[in-house]
Amino acid sequence: MVVGNAHHPPTVPPCMADEIREHERIPRRPAPEFTEVGSFGEALRTHGLIGTAVDDKNQYGPLGMMVMLFIVAAITSLGLLILRAS
């Protein structure tokens, strides 16, 4: 049995979102429309944190999700500290 190099996966020809590849079981959905913005601050001013992180309205969605994760973690840890102190 010949195993390929894990550091160099086989290249797959580019495929548009509307196309269905030969061996795919689940068809791809069309890519959502999003607005290109210059910075994360501009993304927050334009679409807000929820619009950026959850609704994927611009290219900063993953960064918005990390910020939301940090906010939720901070609120959770603050709540646990308050419960521990009482």
Residue 19 lies in a domain: yes
Number of domains in the chain: 1
Q: Is there a domain that residue 82 lies in?
A: yes
Contact 62, 38 (CB under 8 A): no
What's the pLDDT at 15?
Answer: 57
User: What's the confidence (pLDDT) of residue 26?
Assistant: 79
- Confidence grade of residue 4 (pLDDT, cut at 50, 70, 90): low
| Amino acid at position 13, single letter | P
5 in a structural domain: no
- Residue 31 phi, psi (nearest 5): -65, 135
Digit-coded pLDDT (tens) for 6-48 = 676 656 555 555 566 677 777 777 777 888 999 999 999 999 9
Residue 2 within any structural domain of the chain: no
Determine, yes or no, domain membership for 81.
yes
Structural domain for 28, as ranges: 12-86
Q: Is residue 7 part of a domain?
A: no
Do the Cβ atoms of 40 and 60 come closer than 8 Å? yes
pLDDT in tens, 45-70: 999 999 999 988 999 999 999 999 99
